[in-house]
Each structure stands twice: as structure tokens, then as C-alpha cells.
A and B are shown apart, each in its own frame.
Chain A
């Protein structure tokens, strides 16, 4: 599912999951101030790509890789705190 690779920094792709980004793609260096929060229940989540650590490997994860599965996406303030 997730390939092992250099991924660069975490970033939204600029579009919802499973759809082409609307307008200009978000580059790694570009500010994302113009990416509006689009969270609403019943609406698609914003897609993103992010580096990750899993079971001894550094990998790249894209949210849309998980289409077809249920996802529980959890944010937390920092490592070495509770989750």
C-alpha cells in the first residue's frame, strides 16, 4: 500500500480524496494559506501526502491510498505525550 521513499514535507494535495486537485497543485514550498479548511461531515476529506514511520520503515502515505477502507485519522500535540 505505502511505498518506501523520500516524500519531502507533508502537504495537502489541494483537492478532496479521490479527485483531481482543483486549480494549481500545492507545491512543497508554496504557502498553503489559500487551502481552505473543507471539513464537513458527509463531504470528502482533503487529500494529503505525508512522510510516515511504520514498523521500522520510513514510508510515504497518501490518504487516497486508503480509498476502499475505513480510516481513523488522529492528530495529537506531540510525541512522548499521551494520545
Chain B
């Protein structure tokens, strides 16, 4: 979503993005002329008149599970956004019984918070697991 019109979105998709991604962008490119939606999400830059790089993970209930906001010059890490979605999905599927510790990614160990785990995290989770 940006302040650009849907017509500019089409031009961008037709003339550039479709050269990067076969078939063009698959998801909706949203237009927020005036930035009213961006303001509601708290990421609209009033001085520059544009949206900043806000990214929100919204779960199937419509609940915001996480967000990240960057100033324009620095791009996002899409892999990290997808990793977070995967982690939230694991937690949700476990109905909150499992948690994903620092550095978790699919295939790595999850934790099951409870009395048995208190003081024992060090036995199942090592600091090098915080990194890729």
C-alpha cells in the first residue's frame, strides 16, 4: 500500500515489476491517496506526505501480532517477515502450548512453557541457536 493511485500501480507492475516477477505482482497493490489508512496505522509521514516502510502481521482473527516500521532508505528483509508468520502459525496451531525461542525457524526446536521449563531453558536452547 502506498499513496500512489491504482493507475500508477498498474504502470509500475506493467513496466517494471513484471520484469522482476513472472506474471507481475500476484497480490493486491493497495492505493491510499491522502494517507488516511497509513495514519490509522501510525506510519504516515506527514512532513514528506508518504507512507514509511510499515509492515504488519495480522492473524486470522484480525489481531496485529507484530509490526516493523523503517524509514524509506532501508529495505525490508522479506525472509524475516515470512519467518515471523511461520512462527506465529506454529504457536497458533499449538493453541499457545508452544513458543518459538530466539532464532527459531522451521525445523528448529520449540519450547513448551510451563513449570518444568523454569530454569531449564539452557538445557534445551543454546545461544548459537539464536543465529542462522
Size of interface on B: residues with Cβ below 8 Å to A:
59
Asked if residues B53 and A75 are in contact (CB atoms below 8 Å), the reply is: yes
Instruction: Give bound CA distance, A67 to B99, whole Å.
Output: 23
Asked if residues B62 and A64 are in contact (CB atoms below 8 Å), the reply is: yes
Residues of chain B contacted by A37 (CB below 8 angstroms): 39-42
Q: Which among A41, A51, A66 is the interface contact of B31 at CB below 8 angstroms?
A: A51
Asked if residues B1 and A75 are in contact (CB atoms below 8 Å), the reply is: yes
Those of B39-81 within 8 Å (CB) of chain A: 39-43, 48, 50-67, 72, 75-76, 81
Residues of chain B contacted by A72 (CB below 8 angstroms): 55-58, 81, 85
Q: Which among B29, B61, B89 is the interface contact of A54 at CB below 8 angstroms?
A: B29
B112 within 8 A of A: no
Known: A10-B33, A63-B58. 4 other contacts (CB 8 A): A12-B37, A32-B40, A35-B36, A45-B58
Residues of chain A contacted by B27 (CB below 8 angstroms): 54
Instruction: Give bound CA distance, A37 to B54, whole Å.
Output: 13
Least CB distance, B37 to chain A, in whole angstroms: 5
Asked if residues B36 and A12 are in contact (CB atoms below 8 Å), the reply is: yes
Residues of chain A contacted by B2 (CB below 8 angstroms): 75-79
Residues of chain B contacted by A80 (CB below 8 angstroms): 12, 16
Residues of chain A contacted by B4 (CB below 8 angstroms): 78-79
A-B CB proximity, top 10 nearest = A17-B62, A37-B42, A52-B28, A75-B51, A53-B9, A71-B58, A79-B12, A12-B40, A75-B54, A54-B28
Query: Quick one: CB contact mask for A36-65 with B, threshold 8 Å, 1 for yes?
Result: 011111111111101111110011010110
Residues of chain A contacted by B54 (CB below 8 angstroms): 73-75
Instruction: Give bound CA distance, A52 to B7, whole Å.
Output: 9
Q: Which among A53, A63, A68 is the interface contact of B6 at CB below 8 angstroms?
A: A53
